[in-house]
């Protein structure tokens, strides 16, 4: 999206990596066992949520938050080429 990445599916299929708001949030999620560190991204907010340990609703919320974070950082020009957000995505 606009040359920015908000999520990644790994080749090994263990889970879904998403971008958190910041490094400390990502670190906290790893420390409490909700997420795992990802070796392919520098520290700074990326974590992996394993399929078998992550509730689908939580994963959906994390994915949406990651998408919205990146979307907020895009220029007006890039945003104009994206579909509008639904009411569900805004809340």
Q: What is the pTM of this model?
A: 0.79
Secondary-structure percent of the chain, ordered helix, strand, coil, rounded to 5? 40, 15, 40
Where b means 16+ CB within 10 Å and e means fewer, 69-81 reads bbbeebeeeeeee
Mean pLDDT per 10-residue segment, the chain (91 residues): 77 86 90 88 81 92 90 87 71 48
The pLDDT assigned to 9 comes to 83
What separation in angstroms does the CA of 25 have from each of 32, 34, 37, 83? 11, 11, 12, 29
CA atoms within 13 Å, Cβ hemisphere of 71: 15
């Amino acid at each position: 999206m606009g040359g920015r990445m908000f999520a990644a599916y790994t080749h090994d299929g263990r889970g879904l990596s998403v971008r958190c708001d910041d490094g400390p949030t990502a670190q906290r999620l790893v420390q409490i066992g909700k997420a795992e560190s990802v070796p392919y991204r520098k520290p700074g907010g990326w974590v992996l949520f394993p399929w078998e340990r992550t509730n689908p609703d939580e994963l959906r919320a994390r994915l949406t938050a990651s998408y919205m974070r990146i979307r907020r950082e895009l220029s007006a020009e890039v945003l104009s080429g994206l579909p509008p957000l639904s009411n569900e995505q805004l809340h």
